[in-house]
């Protein structure tokens, strides 16, 4: 059993994961040992099927760990109740999706505000947080617009604002630049890098895009479910 | 925010929402219209029964009603004046009508026809019993030798208003007696057995015919039907040898059986409309879940529990149900305005008179129809969103 260490957001120990195959289980993660420190900016890279999305899902607490151990903020995730997991997702994790996943019937401001209301934050404080987050991503002027009135880059910035406004411990970003052109993708990465540096929020993203490696990220490269390379950023031995 | 989100969500697919709302509206309209119609029909027949024959109820000696006796007058009310005095002082009693009933032969000099006679005080009955539907002439009122009879009986005797008739009957002592009368009115109350058999003469004439001063019954006219219970209780408490029988019992065909039958029928229609509403909401909510799987996955990834999502979807279902229910209510009010003079209906079973039925719409009907639509909406949404409980967040997010 791994020792819970202070200041580590994630600690993976011999983490294995399989999906039910047609004939036998299909192993997608094999013996992952990885530690993610608070304030890290990590990029999971690797070809399709390498297991980066599964690892990201495990970090996002939307996939339950199977074999091995996964500690989130020192807490073993195995066996946690659905209510506890929901609470952690609601308060501690912000999600950024490849295709933005904004709620198209709500305005930009309401999209950012939505999860804050679910955190039961008082209205005044909520509006302050929404304002801060939208100003951070440069979309305050667009707050009344609906997502359908925004460009792809702007939508992704709303998604970033939505994730940040929750004041999460970790932001999980799944291919955040994949739906954007190169220039916009770069702007989004610049924004994430800046947020990581200024707020110290831990960011874990998965990406195919080699451009993301230009942003001082700690790269964790996976192949066939195993880590084959860790480079850049501040590396922490498992 | 959840309420706002749910409200906006029903605007996503306007056509589908409109179809669901319209279906619910038709269901609620159908339910309200039928309930209003049935209630109007019952009220109409009840009103007809009360103001043409039975009043709100009658006082008789205990065990008399519904029994056949060789000498029925032996079971009539003793000292009826005391009972009548007490009743006149009882709150909410509008009028008391002493009556006797007897069987007799009516003769026009050529033919004799058997009929059921009632002795009434014409002067005091004429205002309360205002739904006898005289097709010729009018009530007995103060006419001392006046006689009114049902249309069927009049036809059998071939008499018209103004013509003389002799009523022959048996006195309480067993001798034959007769009174001479003049036809002052021919009525058609709509109840076949009454129109074919019933005739009325002045009470004192009937008592001469029967050679008694007793009363068979005291019919009651109240300020409102809802006071029957308290009046009945008061009179039976004061005169334990008597019993108070309501119009529901006296006129079982319509007042009791009719209401029961129509309510049973209404419950069947309720089920049909409930099914309609269930299907409308189920269809809408199922498609919503299917189309918004990714969004639901995103919400779950951000900490919304399956219960939260079901709450959201149920709220959307309730909005649809409320919108449909309000529209259905408005449609019903419009229909009520269109048929404000009543729907012309052929005679109902056991009757022979066409009566225009007005919708009897009560606030409680609107509340129950809307409540039913909301219950159906919650039920249908819950059913259709059960799949959310099994939703894998990862699969939902990756679904197309």
Q: Which residue has the tokens 């933005």?
A: A100
The pLDDT score that the predictor gives to residue B203 is 95
CB contact under 8 A, B5 and A83: no
Of B1, B294, B303, the CB nearest to A113: B1
| Rounded distance between C-alpha atoms, residue B178 and residue B156, angstroms | 20
| Rounded distance between C-alpha atoms, residue B342 and residue B337, angstroms | 10
Tell me: pLDDT of B254 over 70: no
CB contact under 8 A, A114 and B5: yes
Percent of chain B with pLDDT over 90: 45
Tell me: pLDDT of A236 over 50: no
Of residues B41, B32, B40, the one with CA closest to residue B366: B32
Tell me: pLDDT of B308 over 70: yes
- Name chain A contacts of B309, Cβ cutoff 8 Å: none
User: With contact defined as beta carbons under 8 Å apart, do A67 and A16 qualify?
Assistant: yes
Closest-CA residue of A relative to B307 is A83
User: With contact defined as beta carbons under 8 Å apart, do B153 and B140 qualify?
Assistant: no
> Can you read off the two tokens belonging to residue B155?
């036809």
The pair phi, psi for residue B11, each rounded to 5°, is: -90, -5
| Tens-place pLDDT, residues B23-36 | 889 989 988 998 89
- How many Cβ pairs within 8 Å bridge chains A and B? 64
Tell me: pLDDT of B387 over 50: yes
Percent of chain A with pLDDT over 70: 94
| Tens-place pLDDT, residues B126-154 | 889 888 889 999 999 999 999 999 999 99
| Tens-place pLDDT, residues B67-105 | 888 888 888 988 889 999 999 999 999 999 999 999 999
Across A58-84, average pLDDT: 91
Q: How far apart are the first and last CA of chain A?
A: 13
- Minimal C-alpha gap between B312 and chain A (Å): 12
The pLDDT score that the predictor gives to residue B96 is 94
Closest-CA residue of B relative to A116 is B1
Of A63, A95, A110, the CB nearest to B302: A95
> Could you give the ipTM of this predicted complex?
0.90
Q: Are strands B57-61 and B242-246 parallel, antiparallel or unpaired?
A: antiparallel
CB contact under 8 A, A57 and B394: yes
Q: CA separation (Å) from B102 to B4, B71, B143, B165, B172?
A: 72, 11, 20, 16, 11
CB contact under 8 A, A86 and B304: yes
Least confident segment among A3-17, A85-99, A185-199, B380-394: B380-394
Among residues 20-79 of chain B, which lie with CB inside 8 Å of chain A?
A: none
| Tens-place pLDDT, residues A134-180 | 998 888 999 999 999 999 889 988 999 999 898 899 999 998 888 88
Of residues A88, A153, A159, A146, the one with CA closest to residue A119: A88
Q: Are strands A226-231 and A218-223 parallel, antiparallel or unpaired?
A: antiparallel
User: With contact defined as beta carbons under 8 Å apart, do B212 and B204 qualify?
Assistant: no
The pLDDT score that the predictor gives to residue A234 is 47
DSSP string, B64-91: TTT---SSGGGGSBSSHHHHHHHHHHST
Tell me: pLDDT of B119 over 80: yes
CB contact under 8 A, A114 and B1: yes
- Name chain B contacts of A83, Cβ cutoff 8 Å: 305
Is the pTM of the predicted complex or chain greater than 0.90? no
Q: Are strands B112-120 and B343-345 parallel, antiparallel or unpaired?
A: unpaired
Percent of chain B with pLDDT over 70: 97
Q: Which alpha helices (H) appear in A69-209, and where do they start and end?
A: 82-92, 108-118, 123-136, 152-165, 182-199
| Rounded distance between C-alpha atoms, residue A31 and residue A161, angstroms | 34
- Name chain A contacts of B301, Cβ cutoff 8 Å: 60, 62, 89, 93, 95
Dihedral over Cα of A162, A164, A170, A171: its sign: positive
Q: Which residue has the higher pLDDT, B391 or B119?
A: B119
CB contact under 8 A, B294 and A95: no
- Name chain B contacts of A104, Cβ cutoff 8 Å: 12
The pLDDT score that the predictor gives to residue A42 is 92
Mean pLDDT, all residues of chain A: 88
Mutation target among A20, A105, A119 for the B interface, most CBs of B within 10 A: A105
| Tens-place pLDDT, residues B159-175 | 999 999 999 999 988 89
Across B308-323, average pLDDT: 88
Across B314-342, average pLDDT: 91
Tell me: pLDDT of A118 over 80: yes
């Amino acid at each position: 059993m791994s020792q819970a260490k202070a200041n580590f957001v994630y600690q993976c120990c011999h983490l294995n994961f399989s999906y039910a195959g047609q004939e036998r289980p299909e192993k997608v993660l094999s013996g992952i040992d990885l530690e993610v420190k608070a304030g890290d900016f990590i990029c999971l890279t690797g070809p399709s099927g390498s297991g980066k999305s599964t690892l990201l899902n495990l970090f996002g607490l939307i996939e339950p760990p199977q074999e091995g151990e996964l500690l989130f903020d020192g807490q073993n995730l195995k066996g946690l109740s659905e209510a506890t997991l929901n609470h952690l997702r609601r308060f501690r994790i912000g999600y950024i999706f490849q295709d933005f996943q904004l709620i198209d019937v709500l305005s930009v401001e309401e999209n950012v505000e939505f999860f804050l209301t679910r955190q039961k934050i008082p209205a005044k404080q909520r509006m302050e947080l929404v304002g801060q987050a939208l100003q951070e991503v440069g979309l305050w002027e667009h707050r009344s617009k609906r997502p359908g009135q925004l460009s792809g880059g702007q939508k992704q910035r709303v998604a970033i604002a939505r994730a940040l406004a929750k004041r999460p411990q970790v932001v999980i970003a799944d291919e955040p630049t994949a739906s954007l052109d190169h220039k916009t993708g770069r702007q989004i990465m610049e924004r994430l890098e800046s947020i990581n540096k200024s707020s110290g929020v831990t960011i874990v993203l998965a990406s195919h895009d080699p451009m993301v490696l230009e942003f001082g990220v700690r790269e964790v490269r996976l192949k066939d479910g195993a880590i084959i390379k860790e480079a850049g950023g501040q590396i922490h031995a498992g | 925010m959840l309420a706002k989100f749910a409200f906006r969500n029903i605007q996503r697919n306007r056509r589908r929402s409109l179809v669901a709302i319209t279906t619910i509206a038709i269901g609620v309209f159908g339910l309200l219209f039928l309930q209003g119609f049935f209630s109007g029909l019952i009220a109409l027949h009840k009103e007809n029964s009360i103001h043409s024959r039975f009043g709100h109820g009658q006082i008789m000696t205990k065990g008399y009603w519904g029994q056949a006796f060789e000498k029925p007058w032996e079971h009539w009310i003793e000292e009826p004046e005391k009972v009548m005095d007490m009743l006149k002082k009882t709150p909410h009693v509008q009028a008391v009508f002493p009556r006797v009933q007897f069987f007799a032969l009516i003769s026009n000099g050529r033919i004799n026809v058997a009929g059921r006679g009632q002795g009434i005080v014409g002067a005091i009955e004429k205002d309360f019993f205002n739904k006898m539907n005289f097709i010729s002439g009018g009530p007995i009122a103060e006419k001392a030798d006046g006689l009114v009879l049902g249309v069927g009986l009049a036809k059998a005797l071939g008499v018209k208003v103004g013509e003389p008739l002799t009523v022959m009957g048996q006195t309480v002592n067993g001798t034959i007696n007769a009174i001479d009368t003049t036809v002052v009115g021919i009525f058609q109350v709509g109840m076949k057995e009454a129109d074919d058999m019933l005739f009325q003469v002045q009470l004192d004439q009937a008592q001469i015919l029967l050679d008694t001063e007793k009363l068979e019954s005291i019919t009651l006219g109240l300020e409102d039907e809802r006071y029957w219970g308290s009046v009945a209780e008061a009179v039976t408490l004061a005169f334990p040898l008597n019993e108070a029988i309501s119009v529901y019992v006296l006129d079982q065909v319509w007042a009791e059986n009719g209401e029961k039958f129509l309510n049973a029928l209404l419950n069947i229609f309720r089920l049909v409309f409930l099914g309609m509403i269930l299907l409308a909401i189920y269809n809408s909510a199922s498609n919503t879940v299917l189309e918004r799987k990714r969004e639901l996955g995103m919400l779950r990834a951000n900490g919304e529990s399956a219960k939260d999502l079901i709450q959201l979807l149920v709220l959307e279902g309730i909005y649809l149900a409320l919108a449909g229910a309000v529209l259905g209510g408005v449609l019903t009010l419009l229909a009520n305005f269109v048929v404000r003079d009543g729907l012309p209906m052929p005679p109902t079973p056991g009757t022979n008179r066409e009566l225009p039925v007005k919708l009897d719409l009560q606030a409680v009907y609107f509340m129950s129809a809307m409540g039913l639509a909301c219950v159906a909406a919650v039920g249908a949404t819950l059913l259709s969103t059960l799949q959310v409980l099994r939703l894998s967040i990862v699969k939902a997010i990756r679904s197309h």
